Structure 1
Amino acid sequence: MKAMIAWWDLSTSQQNAETLRDFLREEAQQSWSDIPGLVLKFWVSDPERHRWGAVMIWESEEAAARAVLPRSAGEVIGHPLDYREWFDIEATVEGAHGLPSLNGLGTALAPQLERELENH
């Protein structure tokens, strides 16, 4: 398994964490859910340091290389990644938690999740 960590410096972009959350809610989450070989992706932000990025866990380097990726936040941000590194995954563990799934969690999706819970 391979992990990829990447982020953009938003200091020179018209985008910020809030506007990129809108992008994430509108299209990114659904676009990534059916990518073969992608085990998990989580988007990360550091609004104080003007950073936006992601961590992706892949079944293999080959799976990552074969993947046809959807529209990137880079198109919205207006420039390529500032940082990208690949790592071998040495071990994994899933902690004891009460979450039914890791899908659909996070700051960007909290309003959407709250609406869905209200409707049930």
Structure 2
Amino acid sequence: MKTWAAGGALIALLFSASALAEDNLSSVRVSAPGSYKMPRAEFREYSYRYELSNDMHIRFSQSRQRYYAELDGEPAIELIPVSPGVLVTTTGSRVEFSAMGAALTIYNFERLSPKLAALGKDLTLVAAR
């Protein structure tokens, strides 16, 4: 009789431990790069045409929750927000806005378009509107 009771208690303990483990697993949060959700009002501060330090122009636009940069004569490239005022491209460019969107710095500018690769490597440009 004691064996049955001990066996039943052991089974109940295993089931409750399994349920607790499942509860813990379902509540784990993982932050992934690019998971920053930029508010519409924030990007509105950046949705302008800027004159770059190399006399080119770049324009920033938004379509729903997607953000784009477009150089004169080039197709638009998608930007991914990573933190307030900072967006990156899948090709490795990084755009950082400052002064409430009145100025910006673009790191790895040459990666915005294959045509720009001839300009050099690891180019950093600044711009103002």
More RCO (CA 8 Å, sep 6+): 1
TM-score (norm 2): 0.22
TM-score (norm 1): 0.23
Q: Which one has a bigger Cα radius of gyration?
A: 2
Instruction: Give the number of the structure whose residues are more often strand, by fraction.
Output: 2
